Amino acid sequence: MQYPVSYPVSYLVSCPANDPKNRQPSQRVLVIDDSADNREILKLLLDSNGFSTDCAPNGEEALSFMKGSLDLPALILLDANMPVMDGYQFRIEQDKDQRLKDIPVVVMSGDHDPNMEERMNHPHSFLSKPFNMQNVVGHVSAFFGA
């Protein structure tokens, strides 16, 4: 059974200039997570802070989306454990594609696997689940130099 998740607006909106027309294409983020709630929360959070956010429920759909897109994301937030294609396999496939292999990846996981960095082909960084909303925004903002 899924329960609705709600957060106070103050958690989700911390940027005073949230106008979508001010978003830069270079600040495009792709969220890959099998949890619809996580995708929805992260999209709302990132969009409300000036980022342009796309979502995919697994690695296979994310690869298909990116291969068919002219505008690639500048950053990928990747869940480690998903059905269909997990984050580990996604990283292997990403590395095989010349167009995709240099896109930085932030792995999101609640696992404490000491070998995750190596198994994930040395991602840019990690975010722990459950999410701290300020940490997510800070992490993504820091990546873009904001």
pLDDT of residue 2: 39
| 13 compared with 67, residue with greater pLDDT | 67
pLDDT of residue 5: 41
pLDDT of residue 87: 85
pLDDT tens digit string along 93-140?
999 999 999 999 998 887 777 776 777 777 777 888 888 888 899 889
pLDDT tens digit string along 18-54?
344 444 556 899 999 999 999 999 999 999 999 999 9
Domains parsed from the chain with CATH numbers:
23-143 (3.40.50.2300)
pLDDT of residue 78: 93
pTM score, whole prediction: 0.80
> How many other C-beta atoms are found inside a 10 Å radius of the C-beta of residue 141?
17
pLDDT of residue 36: 94
In whole angstroms, give the CA distance from residue 119 to residue 35.
Answer: 22
pLDDT of residue 17: 36
> What are the DSSP calls for the chain, one per residue?
--------HHHH---S---GGG--GGGEEEEE-S-HHHHHHHHHHHHHTT-EEEEESSHHHHHHHHHT-SS--SEEEEESS-SSS-HHHHHHHHHH-TTTTTS-EEEEES---TTHHHHTTS-SEEEESSPPHHHHHHHHHHHTT-
